[in-house]
Amino acid sequence: MKIGFDAKRVFHNTTGLGNYSRDLIRILAKFYPKSTYYLYNPKPKKVYRLELTQSMHEVLPNTKFWKKYSSLWRQTAVLKQIKSDGVDVFHGLSGEIPRGLTKNKIKSVVTIHDLIFMRYPKLYSFFDRKIHFKKFKYAAKNANKVIAISEQTKKDIITFFKIDPSKIEVVYQGCNNVFKEERSVIEKKEFLDKYKIPDTFLLNVGTIEERKNALSIVKAVKEIDIPLVIVGRKTKYYTQIENYIQKNNLENKIYFLEGLTLKELSTVYQLAEVFIYPSIFEGFGIPIIEALFSKTPVITSKEGVFPEAGGPNSLYVDPYNIKEMIEAIELLLKSKNKKEEMVNKGFDFVQQFNDEIIAKKIKAIYKEL
């Protein structure tokens, strides 16, 4: 079978959509190496996180004109190369598919991660909302199958795009194998020395933006005798956190890290006492999975998708209820037995997000088409 992928995020994105795209292609190539995987990339790659195997082929625009107008190539002209490669199924990995697939009898799948721009429009510009809506709705209507990364996302696709539920398949995300590898004592010490952070800390991972709600954790930590490490790219929202830290003299208690390698990120997960993720809304919440594989207990938000990712043995709080968050943190810091129970049961729960299970589900969808 020949499978084509919209690979823009594979080669140009280091966060959520890029990680999903790389991991999915990697595990399909691992478990089904006899298939051929065409990775349609609109411009020379900037991210080198996917090791190409013999069954993977990166495909760039094949003329000077389309190299110059690569964004347009990705939406339309790429179809000519998809046909030339004899692709059986094309998979849009981030809510988009090129136009003309159905007309040319090429089966298609699209993964939709979330519709946050619909639920929380104030977080997006007017034009971004319009563009996202147009692209996502077209893909959902015209793809032969829609993959939602959670039951929450499936509900949103049905609500906002009026898509037949039978057309939508829920297939959860996994995470990179680096988070399943135990880091050595030496590696952990080298990390602490390199970034000059304390041995004991709470952890939050994710872009530092309003929706992720890191300020609530900072407010909670103000009342608890333990530092906080926040890992993620800074946005304008960081200024609010910085102002609160300065106003409350927390400069020596809050640590910000950015640009970590995947190995370093897995190390900081394993070093953390507790992982806290009080996001307001996500399509899935991959950092929760990374934490559970790292055998770190999780505190996260009680509504939406989070219980799907965190399972029955994580702790759930109102993301804006600072008192509730403090109580959850203190429970884990004071009770070694509770913490160990959450770690062990959380690790058992997260096995359903292992590579082979996900690969089988995706391959079955391709075969059905």
Q: Using an 8 Å Cβ cutoff, are 10 and 94 in contact? A: no
CA angle 159, 317, 287 (to 5 degrees): 70
Range 24-42 average pLDDT = 96
CA–CA dist 148, 161 (Å, integer): 13
State the pLDDT at residue 122.
86
User: What's domain 2-174+354-368's architecture?
Assistant: 3-Layer(aba) Sandwich (3.40)
Domain boundaries, given as residue ranges, for the chain: 2-174+354-368, 177-351
Pick the CATH number of 177-351 from 3.40.190.10, 3.20.20.140, 3.10.450.50, 3.40.50.2000: 3.40.50.2000
pLDDT band at 359 (very low <50, low <70, confident <90, very high): very high
Residue 338 · residue 324 · CB < 8 Å: no
248 pLDDT higher than 90: yes
The per-residue pLDDT for range 300-313, each reduced to its tens digit, is 999 889 999 999 99
Place of tokens 């003329």: 63
pLDDT, one tens digit per residue, over 102-123 is 999 999 999 999 998 998 888 8
Residues in the chain: 369
19, pLDDT greater than 90: no
pLDDT at 14: 82
Joined together, the tokens standing for residue 67 give: 């190299």
Whole-number average pLDDT of the chain: 95
Q: Give the pLDDT of residue 98.
A: 96
Show the DSSP H helices in the chain as ranges.
Answer: 8-12, 16-31, 64-68, 70-72, 78-84, 116-119, 126-142, 151-161, 185-195, 214-221, 237-247, 262-271, 286-293, 306-310, 322-334, 336-349, 355-368
Instruction: Write down the residue that tokens 């900037």 correspond to.
Output: 46
Average pLDDT over residues 236-252: 96
Residue closest to 94 by CA, chosen among 137, 51, 136: 136
What residues contact residue 158 under an 8 Å CB cut-off, 6+ apart? 165, 168
CA distance linking residue 123 with residue 102, whole number of Å = 34
Is pLDDT above 90 for 156?
A: yes
Mean pLDDT of 209-236: 96
Choice among 15-19, 298-302, 363-367 with the minimum mean pLDDT: 15-19
The pLDDT value recorded for residue 129 is 92
Q: Using CB atoms within 10 A of its CB, is residue 309 exposed (0-12), middle (13-18) or buried (19+)?
A: buried
Q: Give pLDDT, residue 133.
A: 94
Alpha-carbon distance of 272 to 254, in angstroms, equals: 14
pLDDT at 120: 85
Give pLDDT, residue 318: 97
The pair of structure tokens assigned to 187 is 């590696």
pLDDT tens-digit readout, 250-293:
999 999 999 999 999 999 999 999 999 999 989 888 999 999 99
CA dihedral 314, 316, 320, 325 (to 10 degrees): -60
What span, in angstroms and rounded, lies between the C-alpha atoms of 226 and 198?
A: 9
Share of the chain above pLDDT 90, in %: 91
pLDDT in tens, 43-87: 999 988 899 999 999 999 999 999 999 999 999 999 999 999 999
